[in-house]
Chain A
């Protein structure tokens, strides 16, 4: 089973700063199987980035995804107050079919 490990567990930054969130897989993952979600307190997760680097509909261009193989990154270029939330990476598993998530990174206001 491929395990996703997100780092850091908590990231403390100020509005206007750049955020870099990491998702590392225990084995190589196809980019088309790696995605990112944002979750705010009391809300459902929301798709941010699919296929490692494609922004979902309505997602601001300050959010970007990159990476390949075992190392993937979610970057928020300039933090807005509404960006402070939990972020999860997600991978699809092809055999047997299923899905797993990283443990999450909490982005908090410094």
Chain B
């Protein structure tokens, strides 16, 4: 069974850093693009970043460009999101999602990131 398990969320002060991980299982991780999306409390969905299967193509939303870095380790079946210079408005549930064609075929359960002083 396909599974995506996020971890690394928590409470951080503004200006701080956090690294999220997403452990994948049940599918061939190295052949799929992967994405991070987020959802602020009570709000809608926002795509954050995407990375191709071989890491050759990486994209970011304007809201996180220059502050967040997506990466992956295909030997460990794991996706990462390094988040620096965090802001209050980055507070959200962060989901990893497997990409297929132009949509998000499966999602993890999310990890909560709270930015507050």
Residues of A that sit less than 8 Å from B by CB: 32-33, 35, 37, 43-47, 50-51, 56, 88, 90, 92, 96-104
Contact = CB atoms under 8 A, between A and B. Distances in A.
Contacts of A104: 44-45
Contacts of B46: 101
A44 B47 contact: no
B45 A98 contact: no
Cβ-closest 7 pairs across A and B: A92-B102, A99-B47, A44-B107, A35-B103, A101-B45, A50-B103, A97-B59
Interface of A is mostly: strand
B94 to A, nearest CB: 11
Interface residues of B, number: 21
Contact of A101 (B44, B57, B59): B44
B104 A47 contact: yes
B104 A90 contact: yes
